Amino acid sequence: MWVALGPEGPRTITFAARLGSLDMPSDLAERLPKALIHRNVPGEPVHAFLRDFDRAWTALAPYGALSARQRWMRTAAALRADWPVVDGAARWRQGELTVRWAALAPGA
């Protein structure tokens, strides 16, 4: 996981996973940056995002029969409907998903 920084501060956060061994996207929470790790509690944006990430992952489980990559890509596309996902299929194929920092930031 990494945060892209600009002169104004954090811009985006990227979640990266080894798809073959990923059980649930929320397993990535242990890699959250310090500014978010202690905010992963109900009522906080990062918690809502990880909850939605897990729900989409679970709902799209049938794509896992094709490959974990296909499941991840469908999950990322589904998240785009409600969250500001800023990357696309080329990055998703690599097991990455980037979201605007402001959507997950404390107090967002």
Q: pTM higher than 0.85, yes or no? A: yes
Give the residue extent of every domain in the chain: 2-104
φ, ψ of residue 37 to 5 degrees: the values are -60, -35
pLDDT by position in tens, the chain (length 108)? 999 999 999 999 999 999 999 999 999 999 999 999 999 999 999 999 999 999 999 999 999 999 999 999 999 999 999 999 999 999 999 999 999 999 999 875
Nearest to residue 76, comparing CAs of 62, 66, 60? 60
Residue (of 25, 85, 74, 76) closest to 54 by Cα position: 25
